[in-house]
Structure 1
Amino acid sequence: MYCNHRNKSISGLQTGPFSPERRTGNAFGRPWFDRPGTVRNACKSRSLLFVLLCCCFLQGYASQPTAVRGVLDLRNTDLSKNVVALDGEWRWYWHQLRKPEQPDAGFEFIRFPQLWNAATWQRQPISAQGYATYSLTVLLPAHSVGLALEVPDQYSTYRLFVNGKVFAQDGTPATTLAETQPHWSTQLVELPATGDTLQLLMQLANFHHAKGGTAQAMRLGERTRLAAVLTMDHALDLFLTGCLFMSGLFFLGLFGFSRTDRAILYYGLFCLIYCYRIVGTHPYVLHTILPDLSWQLTVRFEYLSLYLGVAIFVVYTHTLYPQDTNRKISAVMTWLCVGFAGTVLLLPTVLFTKFMNLFLALMVSYIGYAFYVYWLAAKRHRPGARYSQMSTALLMVVFGLIILQYFGVAMPAKAILFIGYLGFFFLQSLVLAYRFAFALSEARHTEKQFLANMSHEIRTPLNAIIGFSNLLDTAALTGQQQEFVRYIHTAGKNLLTIVNDILDIAKIEAGKLPLEIIPFSIQSLSDSIRTMLLPTAVDKDLQLVVDVDPTLPPVLLGDPTRLTQILLNLLSNAIKFTKQGRVSLRIDQRDVSNGFVRVRFVVQDTGIGIDPGVLPYIFERFRQASDSTTRFYGGTGLGLSIVKSLVELQGGWIRVSSVPGEGSCFTLEIPYEIGKGESDQAATKSLASWKSTGQTLRILVVEDNPMNQKLALSVLSRLGHSAQVAENGEQALEWLQRSTFDLILMDIQMPVMDGYTTTRHIRTTLRKKTPIIAMTAHALASEREQCLQAGMNDFLSKPFLPNDLQQLIRKYVPSGPELEVVAEPERIPVADAASFTMEPLLKVVEGDLFLATQLLELFLSQTIEQLQQIRQVMAVNELNVISQVLHSQKASIKMLGLDKASLQLEEIEALIGAKAAPTLIVARVQTYTLTLEAELPRIESVMLSAVQKLPSA
């Protein structure tokens, strides 16, 4: 459908006289929509717009000098501003391949350009096959700028002499068929810089094509101007070729995945075939890039790409709208195209090139018929028919312009042809995209309607089944009957959960799922979720870990019901797919701005994991890791889809990572507005003074770590309380037998007697009801539960903030000191360090630089001894001792903000808990010790710098 200007094939995107100076009249007028009497019919207005735009850019031949009797006088022409076509009367020597030095012989004058079958020699018609010489004298202006000649391809080979020297050649012209080698390309020839006259001599021969002679005029002008135009023409061709090639591959790939709409297949093939029409026809960009290509091969590709392209377009149109297309017309046109393609394969070039005019008539007729088909389809409201109609109208305009150029009526600008073709292919792509989206929308609507209807229909009898099974369970039944009733009740609840999931999906997609904005507490919500899921985890012998960032605002505004649904779904899945190990939920505060906080939830397990091939689709409905997953674990694959939808409805995101056999990690973030009231109160409490104004309490600190002892004693002293330290459970029992205490701070893991055992003795043997607050570095939800079961009152994770300890003291000893609200302590400059800074520690001690330096000094002294102890026991793989030492360091490491070492400690504890190979554990411990040793010099340097800033320094 790109046809060549020479009747080889009308080619689109042709290079004609492309200079603004040759336009006639004003190239731009008022926009059509700004004119009175706008056409009301939509289709007619679109066609009119295309015609007006194109006609505005038609480049007809302006008044310019032409050759007269073999001389072209340009002495009064400014070639720096004008590009001149070398047309008019040239000297012509038929059946002569003359050279510049040969004496003149008989010649005639002939119009240039002109085909031989339209010319005569000595008043006799001549054949399209033969050879001839053309001659022209060009008189240049006195001061000519750097000039060049743009020489287009001719039928079917030429050699150009300028002032007696060969300056351009396309193929090899000769006097016989055997010696002639045709070739087509567009060349730019730089002309001599001296002289005021150009003597042009062109040898031309044709024995291989149905047409012979000159096809287009050469153009003379400023070298840079012509080069820029030709470069732009090539760039437009290459760009359009790339667009078509990628579109073809895309639609072929799309059809390969779906194999439903065959129109996608045919359009993809059409784009790929048409690529050659762009680069393989005038101005022959492909021939310029690959000059050694065989003409016999490329000319066949040129014709085949046209015939087969039209054939596929016919089939594509019929497949697109089969109810609006006449099957017989489509079949006849398709077979005619195939027949023309057969002539290209079977006949010599001089014969099959004769059929082009006939094919052009058929092609133009079918384009008109295709426009009628698309108009009919649009009238009947077929999907995408309007775009098809617009694209075909645009194609008709483009081909109309090319035909005008073919007959020499006007020369359309290359850019207009480029825009026309680009618009045609773009609109056709929109047709397929619209059809695809329309079919998908219809399928989704049908699916949602079906799911909603079926869900409502199932709920009615299901509610009756569950209700009557509950009633039946209260009746007098035998043991076996009660068991059967429980099975019915359990199955009914499971089925109701599935139905509710389906209803949620229908509501989410219909946009009818409302979200509440009410105050709630993340801490309370996570405690409730842990309580609900803990029995299931315990039944499977799994650790259920819930870790909440203490810096989170105590009150948030959002939808706690939907958040509970999200977390229950993720944690239930994690427990279901985990056979051993742990399931954890970590809740952290991320960005805080403009009264909003982004909360990150991380659900991690040590379960079966997810295959990488399934991971990208895990949030799709009815998708699970594999069919065996459904058979073994149950489920429908709806939960994660609902989770993703609920997260996104609240303005958040969710992603997943997984390693098969090692576990999965789901991470999501949701923004919440920070609530007022309790959050303001908490903020006020965080600014409480260290000084007390009420009763002094006696507190027993049961802790084996010297640094933790130091911190606890300092905090309690500043709060106005007296404290006694017991290094293990036995010492604590001894102190309790001798003295009375108002509160006990109890470490969990200690030598001699741990915190659980000590608490049981206090409750059962000593029968004391003194409030006991557990302190541990783990902060696991399972440990919290064990603490409460052992008889403790509450749970405080290490390292703790003074504010957290204050609130627990006030909670369990109401008669304790009241808090005095003062301004926040001034921050003391922190010493710079490559890794360690005092900021985390100062936060723990609320800016008390003196206490911070004491803790650092204690940390340095005990850590050096502990590292030496670790090296000694590593040699004999005493993992129990290693575990005890590392656990004693854990709170201190967190307190100092040594994140890297803290993560390594967690990894080592996980390996020890999983009973990994001792060599692997020892290797991780060695890495940890190296990390810690690298931090010690920095910690000491920061401590010394801080000591110098103390008032007593």
Structure 2
Amino acid sequence: MSIQNDPIIKNEFANLKGEWKFFWNESKNPNQLQNLESESEIIVVPSSWNQKMIHGKKLGSTGYATYYLQVKIPEDWKNKVLLLRADYHAGAYELFVNGLLSQSVGMFGTKKETSKNVHAPSIGYIYSNSDILNIVIHESNFEHRVGGIGREIYLGLPKAINSISNERRISDLFSISVLFIISLYYFFYFLIRNSDKSSLIFSILCLFLLIRALVQNEQILREYFPNGNYKLFLLIEYSAMYFAPSLAIHFFSLPIEFRFKNKIIISCYTISIGYFVYALIVDTLSISNTVLHFQYIVLILSLSAIGLNVLAITKKIKHSWLSLGSMFVALVTIIIDMLIIQEKIQIPFTASYGLIFMIFTQGIILAVRHSEAFSTNEQLTNELTLFNENLENKVNERTIELNSAIERMEKSVKARNDFLANMSHEIRTPMNIISGMAELLDESELKPEQKEYVSIFNIANKTLLNVLNDVLDLSKLEQGFLSIDTHEFRIDHLLNDLNKIFQFKTKGTLLTFNIQIEKDVPLLVKGDSNRISQILFNLLSNAFKFTNDGQVSLSLSLENNQYFVFTVKDTGIGMTEEKINNLFIRFYQAHESNQIFQRGTGLGLAISKKLVELMNGNIAVKSTLGIGSEFVFKIPLIISTSAILENSQLKQTKEQFHNLKVLIVDDVQENLLIVKKFLEKVAFRISLSSGGYEAVTLFDENLFDIVLMDIQMPTLNGFELLKIFRKIDADRFKFTPIIAFTANVTLEEQREIEEAGFNGFLSKPVSKKDIFDKFIEVLR
């Protein structure tokens, strides 16, 4: 095999797929194989040997073999260190290059007693002073239903091979993070409101899929337990397969009442438990063989889940169409995996993507349902308050009791606000991991389909963050704490970010979306960019929600050289005059239909109107039923006088990044990884610390140009570390800019950060642009 003209060689690696020599039930000497004239079979790699015919018989899964391939490498690869990556597969193997052992996984053996399987990818180092590589693999399998080399083998330069490993690891970590956050969120929600069993079932379903993700692909769990029992790892992987379909049936059936419901759920769990108990008793080969028949049970239960969603639609249960769509996507990927298992097609497994898409969609549906329940609870609370006030006026002797009830209600509101603040912190911290991983994944080399998945995650993440901000802003409004933060920003950059999100929503639809900025509009201004983005996101989300075809547009113009006029226009279903009059009332829904796209929290427009008024502006709406709607809001923004100097200052500051010495302090390792990845292509020297006295030692021994530091950390929190750092600075007559990095967005903590002496703060989740903008601001 020659890889001189391989088209993928431009990426500095090659996939060693194709025909290999194959010696069944033979363990050839690697040093003599290239000179051996014995007859050999030909087998395609990657593929299992199960279906291979030798002397008119299929081989089956158990046995051992020698694979041989002679590779001619490019001239510029000679006398260089190369890496050989073998993706994980079922058996055990030894891999030799030019007679030398490069890597081994498990324990190769010629019989069951001497062979030991391990599922794990591996990388081996090669140094060749010739352009010919003789690659020999001894492969054995006595413990799994699939034998042979079923996954790709990559050969190339270290940078390219490590890039493949890093991309797959980041993808796995991203999936695991998403599942962990969703599972944890809904488990805590169940603890708070344990009458809602759907949250618990959904949390457990996410947990099972998370466990499966830990022992698949890059085998992240095996990094921590490299000598873990093979059967235990197989049980962990298969238990998710056994129980996930039953949990899905249970989850989808909860909002529906139908005949034999409980019996069907019990039957599903009985099947799952039966398979799991069987797996505990039998050997690993028998465990792996269960997938051959259980895949049909998965198919039947998936079709049943679709049937439950159709039944939910007929019973007019909210959001059932969206739920049906997500389950249909999962079903398609499950069918594709069945064809892969049966070796009908040779592509990577897809079900994990379909299941994560379904999980994320169901998570959003549950979040919207919880928001609606919150709205109903708020309405009932308001009615109860009004009733108590009337009762107080009529019955004086009940005054003391009524005052006590009001006091209890106020405590309940405070408890609710404290809960919202704590949940916001706990949600924003893992959301920082999700958004950061998504941004890193988006910058890597992905297939178009994977790019689309990342875009969907980004849109859902932005939507979830916007809903979270709306709920928190409602709490702040009730306490009179909602405020505006004035800072310098480019208004065209803000609109470009919105354009990236909403252009994606037009894909596969009859809709077009465009943004127009008038020529006389200054681009560098001072105001609250986050609040403006929040208002526009709410208005554009409504426009897309109620517009099936035609156009949605956003335009910006300048009035009297002071007022910036934002106009969001659509060709949607429009509204009557009566509905327009009630449009900015909290929790009001302009359209009460059960269609999915017409639902929401009922908070967006009410919050947006208040934000516009806080910025000394006004908002108005015009709409015609059946023709469309137009929202216009005007706000005064300060035109920045530093616009002329901006480009030169920005260029100068970014050039300084190459010489910066940066310290990042955070007790969450994933946050350290994300910020490091954001900075390492620009910043020259980066130091990481998990906090505590390790951070103090690092700061004391080095002169850093800037510090990015988390607030909530064990041992020493951000405020305590700041005091120590400032004392060290004072002793050596130096002042180091220190930026707080926090998931708590309450006004109290923001004031505490400013008063403590931080040079600024960044709220999680944070993007690469946010970090660079803050660095430029602080260094300027």
TM-score, normalised by the number of residues in structure 1? 0.40
Larger radius of gyration: 1
